[in-house]
Structure 1
Amino acid sequence: MLKSLQGRLACALVAGLVGLSLAAAGAAFHVLSKEIDRMSDSALQETAQRLLPLAVVDILGRDSDGDENHRTAAVRPHVELLTYVVRDGTGKTLLRSHDADETVFPPNLKTGFVSTATHRVYAETGLQGTMSLLVAEPLTARRHAQIKAALAVGRAVAVFLPLGLIGIWLIVRRGLTPIRRFCRSIAARGQNDLSPLDRRALPTEIVPVASAVNDLMARLERALAAERSITANSAHELRTPIAAALAQTQRLIAEAPSAALRERALNVESALHALSRISEKLMQLARAEDGRVLADTPQDLRPIVSLVVDDFRRGVRANAIVLDLPVHPLRSRIDPDAFAIVARNLIENALKYGAQEESIRVSLSSDGTFSVANRGPVIQGDTLERLTTPFERGAAVAKGSGLGLAIVDAIVKAAGATLTLRSPAPEWPDGFQVEIKGLTLGLS
């Protein structure tokens, strides 16, 4: 069964057109057959009425001792379509055409038409009924004319039907253009674009669908906004009490009278630092899922990457990060702060989860590709696919929130770019690489 609306409409209209064409062809053939019979009968009658006076004159002008069964000689050899005989009141043949077969003509035929198995015969009487002229036409001639008429109708249908089918397909396709445009407008939207759909150019039948979709997106927008608001506000409100708790814990560490109490306070401090990092990540995730990650004017991404890398280099060994930047500016419409969040999360993950004795590789290429790669154990494919899910950490030994790649994935999708995870990393037998392509999309 066809699932395409265009296919269903086209098939229904084609079936209707074929049916109507065949019905019209049948009706036309029926009318033509009747018209051929009518015209042939008229020709038979006209021929008989014109021949009868001539036959009477010819018969009356003969000598009494002449051949009573006179056969008319042909002017030149030819096949007679119409043959005739002239009979007297007793049924005796007085005159006939040169190809006439007397067995074709029924005896005792009065004025009018009669059909035999092979011929259509018309009789006309004269001399007060004492003489009759019979004209016969082979039925095969009429069948031949009807076949020619049927072929003519068939040729007309054979020419018209394909043109009609093509026309139907084009009409249906053109009629469904607003629906296809409507579908493309939905598909072209960004992940977080929930603005109302334009219904002005849609057919009346599709307007309720667009209205229902707009209502659904409005409800979804309210739900997502409430969720993002709760996440962002909760993370923001946690910052102050966490900072206060950290300050009190650090004071407790400094004033702890015993080593046991100091160790407990250090554990509390570590937990509060982890909670602070999680709240910061939640705020970043809320911003990323908000979808507003594109700036009004393009910015060069090189200084952003350099600044983030320099910030990390102050806390690690000198050769821990290998940076590769293009010579010329690489402009992108992605918001600088959003891209800084992306770079910071990727570099932080690479340093945290990669082999500690190996350097990580940070690269920004002139084609708008940003990648971060680190050495380390190979990550299996099923685990690799789940790493962009919030709070998914895989089998890593190092501690983390599991939100870094989820934040990166949300920002990348909102920016219209693509995120690819690979393990092992290209050109290495092991490791992990995150590659972002399409950062320069949308620039003229």
Structure 2
Amino acid sequence: MTRRLILWLTGATTAFWLIAAGLGISVMQDEFGEFFDGSLQETAERLMPLVLDDLQRREGPSSPQHLLRQGEDMGDEYLVYQVRDRQGRVLIRSHDAPVEPFEAPLKRGSWKNGDYQFYTASAGDGTIFVQVADAMANRNEAITEGGLALFLPVLVLIPVSIGLIWLIVRRALAPVDDLRGAIEEKDGGNLAPVPSRMLPRELQPIARSVNHLLTRLQAAFDAEREFTANSAHELRTPIAGALAQTQMLIAELDGPRKRRAQQVEASLTHLGHTAEKLLQLARAEAGIGAGSTNVDLARVLELVLADFQRGDLAPSRLRFERQEGARLEGSYSEDAFAIVLRNLIENALLHGRAEEPVDIRLETGGVVRIVNGAAPLTPGELATIRKRFGRGNTGSPGSGLGLSIAERLLQQMNVAFDILSPATGRKDGFEVVMRFGELAAQ
């Protein structure tokens, strides 16, 4: 919008200036014509008595007289004249006047051809005529120089006007840009009201409407988070109790009844896992990813890996590599990073090929990679698994929340998150990459 305003205002201003200059040249041409014509007439009228007096004093037969200027060459004459008799013969001519008679008729008044503008003055008896000529080239030169004097300032003023218009437009539209930036910052983790007190009167209704919408969104998000968190908390205890009772029942039964009890145990385990994911999701939506103190996330990574290695989810498949000098420090949330790692490593173990290892690499530059073996996914499948409750073509257990929880927390931590399939340097595999940017300490 700023660019369009600058272009339109500059174009309109330039067009008005050019039109004004053109009208000025037109008026100048008319005024110059009147001035030059008046000068011609005045010169001819002043010359007439002098010429008549000179002719009366001359003795002998009349012959054309060529007036010479004394001294150094003074350049071309601006006005030239001829004195002619009734028969058209030239009696006297100025220095630069042609030898041949002018084409102008011997008639009092103005006349012009392609080269000269003439004015003819005549004696009272009509026997002597004074014809003064002004070259059209001189008039055209005056108009050209006058036009350049009008147009050249326009060429200087155009860039100056562009700069001034840009400053004025930017200053006038600064509140619009501030409002745009304030609205652009809003997301699920930042629903603070847009400041409207300093906005112009025309923009305040927009800010009020946006703030009203943000308030309603905040209330909806709060209700959703509270419901999810409360549901997860309330479900954990009864699920754990039911799971313990079922395990005791399995120990007491045998045959078909034992297999049914084991199915109940698997369902309760899945339900407990889903409740745990919902609790993590509620914490992610609550914005726990922001950190205020400098922490060492490499230590958190090692602790999470040690916890997995003590568990029963194929700990032997985990391989950890840390490049020499690789560090992972900054103002992050240790709790959020641990949740991210648990979800990503768990997904790699559950959905990766059971016969292939899961590689976790910490590289210099704050890059963490988690790679597992898997068939390459299509772009559509990659988009599906990034959605909440989205699951790919897999028979492994899961709720479809792990990736969405990890991505949400990493967004709050301002960490770039990429999913690659096939993995880097491979024809198959699945890879997630977390880029923490510049390290707080080198």
TM-score range, shorter chain: 0.7 to 0.9
Q: 1:291 to 1:97 in 2, by over 3 A?
A: same
Aligned positions of 1:36-435 closer than 5 A: 36-63=32-59, 66-68=60-62, 70-75=64-69, 81-85=78-82, 95-98=91-94, 99=97, 102-109=101-108, 113-117=109-113, 119-123=116-120, 133-165=130-162, 168=165, 172=169, 176=173, 179-180=176-177, 183-184=180-181, 187=184, 192-199=189-196, 206-253=203-250, 259-316=255-312, 319-325=316-322, 330-426=328-424, 430-435=428-433
User: The residue matched to 1:399 in structure 2 has which SS?
Assistant: coil
Contact 1:313-1:320 at 8 Å conserved across structures: no
Q: 1:401 to 1:48 in 2, by over 3 A?
A: same
Displacement after TM superposition at 1:296 (Å): 1.9
Q: What CA deviation, in whole Å up to 9, does each residue of 1:270-301 have, x standing for no partner? A: 21221111011011012112223112212222
Taking the aligned partners of 1:377 and 1:130, their CA distance within structure 2 comes to 117
Taking the aligned partners of 1:201 and 1:29, their CA distance within structure 2 comes to 49
User: The residue matched to 1:246 in structure 2 has which SS?
Assistant: helix
Q: 1:356 to 1:45 in 2, by over 3 A?
A: same
Taking the aligned partners of 1:384 and 1:169, their CA distance within structure 2 comes to 45
Partner of 1:8: 4
Unaligned runs of 5+ in 1: none
Displacement after TM superposition at 1:223 (Å): 2.3
Taking the aligned partners of 2:132 and 2:423, their CA distance within structure 1 comes to 101
Q: What CA deviation, in whole Å up to 9, does each residue of 1:380-406 have, x standing for no partner? A: 443233222222221222212221112
More off after superposition, 122-131 vs 292-301: 122-131
Displacement after TM superposition at 1:253 (Å): 4.0
Taking the aligned partners of 1:180 and 1:203, their CA distance within structure 2 comes to 12
Contact 1:354-1:374 at 8 Å conserved across structures: yes
Taking the aligned partners of 2:88 and 2:269, their CA distance within structure 1 comes to 134
TM-score computed with the length of structure 1 as normaliser: 0.82
Q: What CA deviation, in whole Å up to 9, does each residue of 1:66-97 have, x standing for no partner? A: 33465343337976543445578x78879432
TM-score computed with the length of structure 2 as normaliser: 0.82
Q: What CA deviation, in whole Å up to 9, does each residue of 1:302-335 have, x standing for no partner? A: 3322322222222346633223346676323222
Taking the aligned partners of 1:318 and 1:215, their CA distance within structure 2 comes to 51
Taking the aligned partners of 2:441 and 2:6, their CA distance within structure 1 comes to 41
Contact 1:91-1:107 at 8 Å conserved across structures: no
Aligned residues: percent identity?
36
Code of the aligned partner of 1:82: L
Contact 1:416-1:441 at 8 Å conserved across structures: no
Q: 1:378 to 1:120 in 2, by over 3 A?
A: closer
Q: 1:142 to 1:318 in 2, by over 3 A?
A: closer
User: The residue matched to 2:354 in structure 1 has which SS?
Assistant: coil
- Number of residue pairs matched? 433
Contact 1:105-1:136 at 8 Å conserved across structures: no
Code of the aligned partner of 1:273: T
What is the alpha-carbon root mean square deviation over aligned residues? 3.6
Unaligned runs of 5+ in 2: none
Displacement after TM superposition at 1:12 (Å): 1.4
User: The residue matched to 2:316 in structure 1 has which SS?
Assistant: coil
Taking the aligned partners of 2:333 and 2:433, their CA distance within structure 1 comes to 18
Contact 1:191-1:413 at 8 Å conserved across structures: no
Contact 2:41-2:119 at 8 Å conserved across structures: yes
Code of the aligned partner of 1:422: L
Q: What CA deviation, in whole Å up to 9, does each residue of 1:87-143 have, x standing for no partner? A: 78x78879432536545443342xxx4234454444556779997644333444323
Q: 1:422 to 1:383 in 2, by over 3 A?
A: same
User: The residue matched to 1:16 in structure 2 has which SS?
Assistant: helix
Taking the aligned partners of 1:403 and 1:94, their CA distance within structure 2 comes to 112
Code of the aligned partner of 1:374: N
Contact 1:378-1:423 at 8 Å conserved across structures: yes
User: The residue matched to 1:319 in structure 2 has which SS?
Assistant: helix
